[in-house]
Amino acid sequence: MDDISDVEEFQFDEVNPEFEQESETESLVEESIDDEEIPEIACFTSRFRIKTIIHSNLPIEYPATSPEGVATIFHITDWADPSHAWKNVQYSMGGGGIHLIKESPYFGNVQVNKEERDCMGIKVCQFTDPSLTSIEHNEVDIESSLWKNITENRNTDFKKTSTYITYLAAKGTSCKFKYNNEIACSGNPVLCKSRISQDLPNVYQWFIGCSMYRVGDKWHRYIKVDSEK
């Protein structure tokens, strides 16, 4: 399991006792809600003015930033816990302080608290691709090449972890194959792959098989590894 360079290759229909062609399914379409951006000069205090205002009915993990300043206003009327406006933010923040503003023009001259936070920097994994750490950005755009690269790497790591978990679970079980219907198989679980179709030479199904499997044997260990996870 430490080195998958010796992975064995089998014909898919030979090793899968429950083989059948799966039909294609349509992917679920998630409906996205865009925050409303209002172009205006907002006067929160006599000295604190912001050009970019973003209104949101939901907490935001990565609020937009800008050298000129960005104000994100959360509409918390139906929120069970208004503090989620801070708790959901994924930036590292600290320090700062709270200042009382007796009259805020933007909010109808009502009394508000101005709470400040300072950026505390970021943590970077030692194995991170240097090209990712050198990119500058002011907000997280899930359609950007940077975000797609990060997501792709994260999904790859998750698939690898999921496969290892499946393998460790298989190690604790015995192979159901019996020689001459009497002697239990003593084979160990191994990571294998099989070509699904001759028409798709580069498409494989990965599975946890048995080290004692021989072509023609039936009911050896076969645990499919979900390629979508």
Q: What does the DSSP assignment read for 32-56?
A: P-PPEEEEEEEESSSS-EEEEEEEE
Judge whether residue 11 has pLDDT over 60: no
CA angle, residues 206, 209, 215, in degrees to nearest 5: 105
- How confident is the model at residue 156, as a pLDDT? 60
- How confident is the model at residue 60, as a pLDDT? 85
Strands 183-184 and 110-115: unpaired
Amino acid in position 27: S
Q: What is the enclosing helix (H) or strand (E) of 171?
A: helix 145-171
d(CA 112, CA 110) in angstroms, rounded, equals 6
Q: What's the pLDDT tens digit per position in 102-151? A: 888 888 888 888 777 777 776 777 766 677 677 676 666 666 676 666 66
Judge whether residue 153 has pLDDT over 50: yes
Mean pLDDT, the chain, whole residue set: 73
Domains of the chain: which residue ranges? Answer: 4-19+146-224, 36-119
